[in-house]
Amino acid sequence: MTVTDTLEAPAAPSAAAPESLTFAKALNTALADEMAANSAVIMFGEDVGPLGGVFRITDGLTARFGAERCFDTPLAESGIMGMAVGMAMNGMRPVVEMQFDAFAYPAFEQVVSHVAKTANRTRGRVRLPLVIRIPYAGGIGGVEHHCDSSESYYAHTPGLTVVAPATVADAYTLLREAIRLNDPVVFLEPKKLYWTKEDVDLAALRSRFDAGGVSDDGTRLPGGIGTAAVARPGTDATLIAYGPSVATAMAAAEAAAEEGRSLEVIDLRSIVPFDDETVTASVRRTGRAVVISEAPGFASVASEIVARVQERCFHSLAAPVLRVTGFDIPYPAPKLEHWFLPSVDRILDTVDELQWEDR
């Protein structure tokens, strides 16, 4: 098989009204659309076959595409990742599911030593177009090993693209783009967002791909991976978030508005590549910034964002860039996670610390 093989002709764009989709269904639809468009796309992992995955993201894919294209594997994450590397080396585009964030650690050696380094090691002669789907982060009351925020490990590893969608539309478009890229993508899916619903124009989203907006040569979609979004405009301070923290930031901005404070929210959408331009433009306008993330704060993605903003926006800042993150402890038991996760109150308390007396 080659990356240009197709099983079904893409549907023509329609003028259909927006439809209500869950985050999970958007991911499922993205997988189905890419599998239909390209026979080189293969989906596998633990329980992703007839069961449809723990979170039902792969529901119906085995029935539609057959057990050779969506299938279950043994409970061996390192083996799953090693098989994906071999498939990607031989013209396929594997998408693998790690089932839960902390389940991915047995595969971490494969990711760091082979997935991230192969293109560099071969001077670009061998590329690995594969996607590692990881249900991640908290908010579902998961027990030990079922909730973790592991983005810093992947973001610190050169050679990986790291994506963390926060909206239903982005879940669809970013996953399709990730599958089409010619290099490996770690695709972080916030578990607590799986059941959120939004009205989306699915026909319009599909048309961006079906009309050739993204080609199978691995080119990026304008406004896609590597591009942050202004989720809510504001003038007084910038909240910078990604993945599961975006909804919390939006709620905090809504609460602040009731108190007469205008907070801009930036949804990073991807951590690597990082959109310095959108982030710094916002902070230069507002003069203040808070970075929000569920992961522990020490040596984190949030730390890197703070450093980048301080370096690029120093003369525009009216106050130090602050953070609201998880605490530097192992992920807590389900009944305690609400104390650990960033909350609206913690964000607003931090915003209050941004030296407003000079205004």
Token pair in block for residue 106: 């047995």
Question: Taking a C-beta distance cutoff of 8 angstroms, is the pair 128, 115 a contact?
Answer: yes
User: Where is 255: in which H helix or E strand?
Assistant: helix 245-258
- For the record, the structure tokens of 23 come out as 């985050």
Among 146, 156, 315, 338, the active-site one is 146
Residue 125 exposure: Cα atoms within 13 Å on the Cβ side? 3
Residue 156 annotated to the active site: no
Left if phi > 0, otherwise alpha if psi is -120 to 50, otherwise beta: which for 17? beta
| Distance from C-alpha of 104 to C-alpha of 203, rounded to nearest angstrom | 34
> Which residue, 70, 91, 129, is CA-closest to 2?
91
Three-class SS of residue 111? helix
The C-alpha atoms of residue 91 and residue 219 are separated, in whole angstroms, by 17
Structure tokens belonging to residue 272: 């690597």
Beta-strand (E) ranges in the chain? 19-22, 41-45, 70-72, 93-97, 131-136, 161-163, 185-190, 197-200, 229-232, 237-241, 263-267, 270-272, 289-296, 322-326
Alpha carbon 87 to its chain centroid, in Å, reads 23
Active-site residues, by number, are: 146
